[in-house]
Amino acid sequence: MKLPFTKMHGLGNDFIVVNCLEENCPDLAKHAAKLCDRRFGIGCDQMLVIRPSERADFKMDIYNNDGSQVEMCGNGIRCVAKYLVDHGATSKDELAIETLAGIIRPRLVGDLVEVDMGEPILEGKDIPTTLEGKILNRPLAVDGHSFDITCVSMGNPHCVIFVDDVAQAPVTTLGPLIERHPLFPKRTNVEFIQVLGPAELKMRVWERGAGETLACGTGACGALVAAVITGRSQREAVLHLKGGDLRIRWSEKNNRVYMTGPGEEVFTGSIELG
């Protein structure tokens, strides 16, 4: 059968979006790795599948390019919100979308999408890690190197490391080792952060199951939270990622994190499922 899809990206973090609201979609989980392959498939960081929801307006399932399913993707949910509005699936400009991380609420603001990403989780066992309590500036030894790590969950786990220069950070060499470190029973995303000022951070990210990507929305949120709780940043900042900028705000009033950025359509097509 032929599978219709839409290719989208959020700051270069790219996605295959599949609309299963009305279509009788096949089991896409087993096809995810092949569809995401940049040589033998369509090519993307993650596949986003939109389904009906009994708990919210819509449901979003997320599959990495290694075929694994994950809880949440910040750049992905902005793209899904834009897709749903631009393709006439809803007339609302504020949506409730069910994910494995809970109900996420994106809101269209002009050409951008603001997303209420919820409250950060700082308790080690809930991130999850094998440690209890908050993990702030805690030493971690990996392959002969030692880093101070701060851990946050935004519905998915993040290990944040502050460095002097992200251009020199060992993202591709140590990122995968930290991702699979025994400290993280469900693996982790790894963010390397350079502080440029009290409201300006620069970031590179190794995404769990996807490798280094041009942007990570939940990672940017986790990075800001980590910067605030370690005294490095104000509660609102611009984060410079390889693919562009995100504005992140951690509200002191309600403890929720808000992310604002673009979601852009590239092309539509269909592919034969083998």
- What tens digit of pLDDT does each residue of 202-257 get? 999 999 999 999 999 999 999 999 999 999 999 999 999 999 999 999 999 999 99
Question: Can you give the pLDDT at residue 216?
Answer: 95
**Model confidence pLDDT, tens digit, residues 64-88:** 988 899 999 999 999 999 999 999 9
* Structure token pair of residue 234: 């104000």
- Burial of residue 198, with CB atoms counted within 10 A of its CB: 0-12 exposed, 13-18 middle, 19 or more buried: exposed
- Cα–Cα distance measured from residue 74 to residue 55, given in angstroms and rounded to the nearest whole number: 20
End-to-end CA distance of the chain, in Å?
Answer: 8
Question: Can you give the pLDDT at residue 149?
Answer: 99
Q: Which domains does the chain have, with CATH numbers?
A: 2-114+262-272 (3.10.310.10), 124-255 (3.10.310.10)
Question: Can you give the pLDDT at residue 57?
Answer: 99
- What does residue 96 show for φ and ψ, rounded to 5 degrees? -120, 120
73 annotated active-site = yes
- Cα–Cα distance measured from residue 178 to residue 208, given in angstroms and rounded to the nearest whole number: 10
Q: What is the dihedral of CA 61, 65, 67, 70, to 10 degrees?
A: -40
25 annotated active-site = no
Q: How do beta strands 46-51 and 58-64 pair?
A: antiparallel
Catalytic option among 73, 79, 151, 221: 73
Instruction: Say which DSSP state 124 is in.
Output: G
Catalytic option among 36, 44, 159, 216: 216
**What is the rounded average pLDDT of the residues 126-140?**
97
